[in-house]
Structure 1
Amino acid sequence: MRPPVILPGATLGVMGGGQLGRMFVHEAQRLGYFTAVLDPDENSPAGLVSHHHIRAAYLDAHGLDQLARLSAAITTEFENVPAEALAALARRRPVAPGAEAVAIAQDRAREKAHFTACGVPCAPHAVIETPQQLQAVAGELLPGVLKTARLGYDGKGQVRVASREQLAAAWDELKRVPCVLEKLLPLAAECSVIVARGADGQMVNLPAQLNLHRGGILAVTEVFEGAVAPAQARQAVEAARAVADGLQYTGVLCIEFFILDDGSLVVNEMAPRPHNSGHYSVDACDVSQFELQVRALAGLPLPAPRQHSPAIMLNLLGDLWFRHGEAEVTPPWAEVLALPGAHLHLYGKLSARPGRKMGHLTFTGASSAQVRELALRAAALLGIAPF
């Protein structure tokens, strides 16, 4: 049975107080909802702008009780919220995405098994949980990348290995936790697709997004006609929808893909939440990924997003504040904002540090050539490497 629609005026809760929670809160408030955030950090970006900020750990029983009492429905803003906390909340309130979908996304082995069950190709791989499985790894999986099965993100918990000796040493380095070894494939590019699915099965998606990662962290996203070849874009959208349907998912889901040298596509991983690569949608689409997140959670209709402008998004890491030495210096925002089509989003974090996601900058314009020129000019001003 379809859950009841939750209309504006109710309170929507979010587990996690980072920048994705902040953007969800802003969108929910724009639509007329009140918001409640559970996050232990008193200066969390989402907590600072929410109507209610519950300062508690994610498994704190009293904090979860407060969130459930305040909220008509609850979502999450990052995938490492304990699935058991979401399961506890779901006994009292609608929770989207559900605990089971989040638990699968938290475990690379389960994630890859789900992709395979959905008929979506992923890189050749092996699960390594025991010394016996380590010894049984097929030679054709090397060279490869050894990844922790849990708690890896932004390139963390990953080691490249070229031989069995390196593989054994890497597993020791990772404390012999459960891991997945993925065969190293010849990559031409990376892309992602964001889908939104309602509890009734209705599903819409944003366009396929071309992504550039540096140091394991998303650096640039380009979204315009031809950024991803049409055949690959169609395949990525179909695969993303199959993964969401297979999970009986409710909410916003991002699926990341590798485009190989031969033009084929393999799935990399999924994020059960809005994603950096979809940030451009706030400025370049008539419905953003965060509005879709609010709508899916509240049981509202999901309109198909329409991209009205070509867009390029630059991720702004804390390194930009330390270009000139150890002292923190504010980047030249006035010069950046003098460029046509510049949309600056800073996340309200009180201090910068290298590698920390401080904000993003999206350029929109009349053509892909125009936005690329402007984005490259901004990159030069900020000290971001060209792309």
Structure 2
Amino acid sequence: MKLGIFGGGQLGRMLAQAALPLDVECQVLDPTEAPCAAAAARHIHGDYADQHALDALTDGVDAVTYEFENVPVDAVKYVAARLPASPGATSLACAQDRAHEKQLFEDLGIDLAPWAEVDDFAGLREAVARIGLPAVLKTRRFGYDGKGQVVIRGADELEAAWQTVGAQPCVLETFVPFEREVSMIAVRSLSGETRCYALTENVHRDGILRQSAPLDGDALQADAEAALAKVMKALDHVGVMAFEFFVAEGRLLANEIAPRVHNSGHWTIDGAVCSQFENHVRAVLGLPLGDTATRGPCVMLNAIGEMPTTAELAAVAGCRIHAYGKAPRPGRKIGHVTLIADSSSALSDRLPALQAMMGV
């Protein structure tokens, strides 16, 4: 079998790596000269809006998917007219617009913080009057890793905040004094079967994910599973989806979805029976889904900007290394490691030294 992938970054790379043991070949469409996924897949150099490039991506493949949610919806619709493209354009369009996303949560009865659409500066003033401060102003489109958003704590900050986000359509949401940030990864098949991984606790700094660890048996597992099932069914989603939540006063508040494999699910490569990447490949190609059970205690740490040497990391017992083949650069995700152990106590003993090494 053969799979086409929009995007040749680290997620495309790990999808292609997971596909190989299934005897699935991958080819990626990416506009950069040497994307890191080219180490594991054939690279088609072209723009996502170029029809000739889209034709090349679909040539000889059984299905097409994407590694990130800023692929043009029209490009997905174009290839979907020729062969299966999953997740579909409906999921993609929803995830690209924070207002549509939040409205979906409300329509499905999923709890979230109070919010309002903001189309202009006058609308920002009206939204603040309605939901109060502090609040977070977020661009409706193209925000990730803390980009495209700003916290507003006082009325005197409105003008600066509006300029910071580029004076473009936004959503304003009440600032949530959360107890923790969690996410759940799930996968849905072509037939509608859904399987969920363990709820995962995440640690962010400067808007960038630094650490993720599965929480087997967490009291909020069932609530997160129910929310994901509602969203995936409503969108007729096929493949992996990530759902990020805030935990406030012991309950889940929806933050956002990602219609793809997700950084907070990287621990599944070494810590689950079947990884999110393999399960995504299985789902979009119509193969049976794999077991999402957690193998044992583990934690994933991102390498941001730089990464310790392979020799340094290899000396840490239970450390699984995943370098992405990307040049170091401040703020850039260039790899991750997953620490696994036989017990929670052993994991806790080893973790601080690895956190210090990784700068977490």
TM-score norm. by structure 1 comes to 0.90
Q: 2:241: which partner in 1? A: 253
Instruction: Report the RMSD for the aligned CA atoms in angstroms.
Output: 1.4
- 3-state SS of paired residue (1:375): helix
TM superposition shift of 1:241: 1.6
More deviation in 371-380 or 251-260?
371-380
Instruction: State the partner residue of 1:376.
Output: 352
What is the aligned residue count? 359
Corresponding residue number in structure 2 for 1:336: 313
Separation in 2, partners of 1:53, 1:316: 25
Paired residues for 1:96-245 under 5 Å: 96-137=86-127, 138-225=129-216, 230-245=218-233
- The code of the aligned residue for 2:188 comes to R
Residue type matched to 1:356 in 2?
A: R
* CA distance in 2: counterparts of 1:182 and 1:374, whole angstroms: 39
Q: CA deviation at 1:53?
A: 1.2
Gaps of at least 5 residues in structure 2 are none
Q: Which runs of 5+ in 1 are unaligned?
A: 1-9, 322-330
One-letter code aligned to 2:198:
P
Q: For each residue in 1:317-361, what CA deviation from the matched residue of structure 2 results, as whole angstroms up to 9, or x when unmatched?
A: 11x35xxxxxxxxx2432321121110000111x10011101000
Once the 2 structures are TM-superposed, how far is the Cα of residue 370 of structure 1 from its aligned partner? 1.4
- 1:222-301 equivalence runs, <5 A: 222-225=213-216, 230-260=218-248, 262-301=249-288
What is the deviation of 1:224?
4.0
Q: CA deviation at 1:314?
A: 0.3
**Correspondence list, 1:323-362, <5 A:** 331-349=308-326, 351-362=327-338
- Output the amino acid matched with 2:228: A
CA distance in structure 2 between the aligned counterparts of 1:343 and 1:224, rounded to whole angstroms: 19
State the distance in 1 between where 2:180 and 2:215 align: 15
In the alignment, what sits opposite 2:70?
80
Shift of 1:131: 4.2
Whether the 8 Å contact between 2:211 and 2:300 is mirrored in structure 1 is yes
What is residue 30 of structure 2 aligned with on the other side?
39
CA separation in 2, counterparts of 1:73 and 1:191? 31
- What is the CA distance between 1:286 and its match in structure 2? 1.1
The aligned amino acid for 2:283 is A
User: Where do 4+ consecutive residues of structure 1 move more than 4 Å?
Assistant: none
Tell me by how many angstroms 1:48 deviates.
3.0
**CA contact under 8 A between 1:205 and 1:304: conserved in structure 2?**
no
CA contact (8 A) 1:146 1:167 kept: no
Residue deviations 1:56-85 (CA, integer Å, cap 9, x gap): 011111100111123210000001111111
Structure-1 separation of matches of 2:311 and 2:290: 36
Amino acid at match of 1:379: Q
C-alpha distance in structure 1 between counterparts of 2:290 and 2:12, whole Å: 22
Q: Deviations over 1:233-253 (max 9, x none)?
A: 221121122111111111100
Equivalent position SS for 1:307: coil
